[in-house]
Amino acid sequence: MAEMTYRDAVAYGIAQEMRRDPSVVFLGEDVGAAGGVFKATVGVLDAFGPTRVFDTPISEQAILGAAMGAAMTGLRPIAEIMFSDFFAVCWDIVANEMAKTRYMTNGQVTLPLVVRSGNGGGSRFGAQHSQSVENWAMAVPGLKVVAPSNPKDVVGLLAAAVRDTDPVVFFEQKSLYPTKGEVPDGEIVDELGRATVLRRGGAATVVALAAMVPRAMAAADQLATEGIDVTVIDLRCLVPLDVTTVATSVAETGHLVTVEENPRLCGWGAELASIIAEENLFDLDGPIVRVTTPHVPLPAADALEDAAMPDVARIVDGVRRSVL
């Protein structure tokens, strides 16, 4: 067992899979010699060399086009799109090609590839470099969508993504890169589509993703001082979506609160809320409450960005509105 940062866990997870499988290759802008713009891939080039780690031109279309072609011809590429906002300039390849090739070839062509990307706010990068876009990917049939909250899950879920036969979009929340956590020794392989219950309580079910998970846990600590004990679930994956774990908890608590960094309109919590309302209505003893970022471009100013994103106080208030 070793403690490592979220950013170091990225490099650790990539290296684990590249050591295991010679068909795994890695490509992206500045991912090799520079170790990544967020220093999340330091040492990977030194370990595996320029025949398996490729620094690409500044072209997201070229990166994903190369990754798709490599996957179609027997490799298992990991491609990096530096900021998730930049999916906007290569979305045709993601949504119309990667997501649909297996379906349109009746399974004759599979695309075992992973697209990693720095996602979300909290780092003062402004409206064009701070978006939380996991709901973009969730809306496209044919993609699997992962967003880990801690170093151990980074390694385990990345391994599961690399070994999957479908394209996986793997979101790394940028403000989590310096955070630390325990990572077990040896090979780590997790399971896509399985949420984790981090804390149990009978008053409400709080479901969070990525950077919102530690904030939800801090809110749970504060609520406990008021006698309100909540269950906290780290959703981890949006596709496959682990509705069973959430529904089982809601049946026990009677209340659901989602904590979403994405803008409110059409966020992942809206889909989860609609499923619970349709399938588990009579388990609910109060309103479903969504704590989200408002439907606005994310500001660059420190105070404004902090005000826009869900914080502990807003999560606490959301739980109170659900249960009281």
Tokens of 52: 């398996």
What are residue 283's DSSP bridge partners?
none
User: 3-state DSSP call for residue 243?
Assistant: helix
| Catalytic residue from among 7, 76, 116, 129 | 129
Burial of 300 from C-beta contacts in 10 A (0-12 / 13-18 / 19+): middle
E-strand stretches of the chain: 2-5, 24-28, 53-55, 76-83, 114-119, 144-146, 168-173, 180-183, 196-199, 204-208, 230-234, 237-239, 256-263, 289-293
CATH architecture for the domain at 2-183:
3-Layer(aba) Sandwich (3.40)
Distances (CA, A) of 229 to 206, 211, 283, 291, 317: 11, 21, 18, 18, 14
**Which tokens go with 238?**
């949006």
Q: Which CATH architecture has domain 196-323?
A: 3-Layer(aba) Sandwich (3.40)
**DSSP-assigned states of every residue in 103-136:** HHTTTSS----EEEEEE-SSS---TTS----HHH
Residue 83 has what pLDDT?
Answer: 98
Examine the residue annotation and report whether 255 is marked as an active-site residue of this protein. no
Beta-bridge partners for 23: none
What lies within 8 Å, CB to CB, of 158 at 6+ separation is: 10, 13, 14, 17, 114, 116, 148, 170
| Cα separation values, 7 from 14, 49, 315, Å | 11, 20, 26
Q: In the chain, which residues fall in CATH 3.40.50.920?
A: 196-323
Delimit the CATH 3.40.50.970 region(s) of the chain.
Answer: 2-183
Contact 54, 82 (CB under 8 A): no
pTM over 0.75: yes
DSSP single-letter state for residue 143: -
Each residue's pLDDT, cut to its tens digit, for the chain (324 residues) gives 899 999 999 999 999 999 999 999 999 999 999 999 999 999 999 999 999 999 999 999 999 999 999 999 999 999 999 999 999 999 999 999 999 999 999 999 999 999 999 999 999 999 999 999 999 999 999 999 999 999 999 999 999 999 999 999 999 999 999 999 999 999 999 999 999 999 999 999 999 999 999 999 999 999 999 999 999 999 999 999 999 999 999 999 999 999 999 999 999 999 999 999 999 999 999 999 999 999 999 999 999 999 999 999 999 999 999 998
Look at strands 24-28 and 76-83 and give their pairing. Answer: parallel
Q: How far apart are CA 262 and CA 308, in angstroms?
A: 11
